[in-house]
Amino acid sequence: MFRTGTSPDHGESGAKAHFHALEALYASAPINDLFRSRLEIVGEGESRITFEVNKGLHHAAAAAHGTVYFKMLDDAAFYAANSLVSDRFLLTTGFNLHFTKPIKSGQVVAHGRWVSGKRRVFVAEASLVDEEGDEIGRGTGTFMRSHIPLSGLPGYQVSG
């Protein structure tokens, strides 16, 4: 397995540097050694994760296990929300997901979008789309500011 991410460019500042630092943070998370995935912060309040589903991620009935759906939906929604917060790491406080279609293999894209909140609690949603353009899952999460500074996390490095 591999982890990918975009390292912050030297001399970057503001939102773009924050976005690239979040991408690097995602890539540095040990859980991502288990999933072939790549995060892009598309813009303020918007993220995209691209990943591959293969038989190593299947349940006994030969389709992707629900943990894959949850992980990618939660991450896409989380990073969409955390793109609006440059000082603290957010925590997932709740997540509701819907499985809309099983998938056996292929590339899947998780699209995350901030919905509301800008102070303490944030709401964001995400959807999973397969190679045919069909939605295979959807979810909505709530995220709360933690006491964990982003700047204290080893994977989050903003160059300025």
CB atoms within 10 A of CB 35: 22
The reported pTM is: 0.90
Model confidence pLDDT, tens digit, residues 82-128 = 999 999 999 999 999 999 999 999 999 999 999 999 999 999 999 99
Average pLDDT over residues 71-92: 97
Going from the N-terminus, what domains does the chain have, and what CATH number goes with each? 14-152 (3.10.129.10)
Half-sphere CA count of 77, side-chain side, radius 13 A: 30
- Is the pLDDT at 11 greater than 80? The verdict is no
- Is the pLDDT at 10 greater than 90? The verdict is no
Residue 147 to residues 76, 89, 120, Cα–Cα distance (Å): 21, 7, 11
Which of 37, 95, 35 is closest to 65 using CA atoms?
A: 35
pLDDT category, 36, cuts 50, 70, 90? confident
